[in-house]
């Protein structure tokens, strides 16, 4: 009887060994989950890929600061093309321009007290997510800054 039980005992031992061996080798070849570093507190980075939206501008004119509202729209067919409008106490104008590699350029014409004025803006994103640049209306550069309207 002992001899008859020997093949069954060998089968059970082989089965147990194969399960044990499979359990040991299952995790091999797989990388360990990355250890997490302590969270660093960083300020969110501005979205420099999308300038579209409403902006509050502060234009530093020689006659004093002037507030304006800028509304920009990205062209769905050409992400580099920008359209929109700019409004201030002087009036509202339609604009066209570009948004290429973090640089905003746009221009418009506006009638001011019977005179047509051409204005060209250039600006870049700042580290804090604002925009800053210069504008030219034929009388030298004027600085401006812009923050997203809330």
User: Per mean pLDDT, which range of 15-29, 93-107, 133-147 is the poorest?
Assistant: 15-29
**Model pLDDT for residues 32-86, shown as the tens digit of each residue:** 556 666 666 555 444 546 899 999 999 998 888 999 999 999 988 888 999 999 9
Domain that holds residue 120: 53-148
Does 125 map to a domain? Answer: yes
For 26, phi then psi, to 5°, come to -60, -40
Q: What is the pTM of this model?
A: 0.66
Q: What share of the chain is helix, strand, coil (3-state, %, to 5)?
A: 15, 50, 35
pLDDT of residue 2: 47
Does 110 map to a domain? Answer: yes
Which contiguous run of DSSP H or E holds residue 65? strand 64-74
Report the number of distinct structural domains present in the chain: 1
142: domain CATH number is: 2.40.128.120
């Amino acid at each position: 009887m002992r001899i008859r039980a020997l093949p069954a005992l060998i089968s059970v031992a082989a089965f147990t060994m194969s399960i044990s061996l499979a359990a040991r080798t299952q995790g091999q070849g797989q990388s360990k989950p990355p250890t997490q570093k302590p969270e660093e507190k960083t300020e969110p980075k501005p979205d420099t890929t999308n300038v579209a939206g409403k902006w509050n501008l502060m234009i530093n004119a020689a006659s004093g600061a002037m507030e304006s509202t800028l509304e920009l729209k990205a062209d769905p067919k050409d992400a580099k093309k920008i359209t929109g409008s700019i409004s201030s106490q002087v009036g509202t104008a339609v604009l066209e321009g570009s948004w290429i590699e973090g640089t905003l350029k746009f221009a418009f014409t506006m009638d001011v007290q019977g005179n047509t004025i051409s204005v060209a803006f250039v600006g870049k994103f700042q580290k804090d997510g604002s925009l800053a640049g210069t504008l030219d209306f034929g009388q030298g550069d004027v600085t401006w800054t812009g923050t997203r309207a809330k």
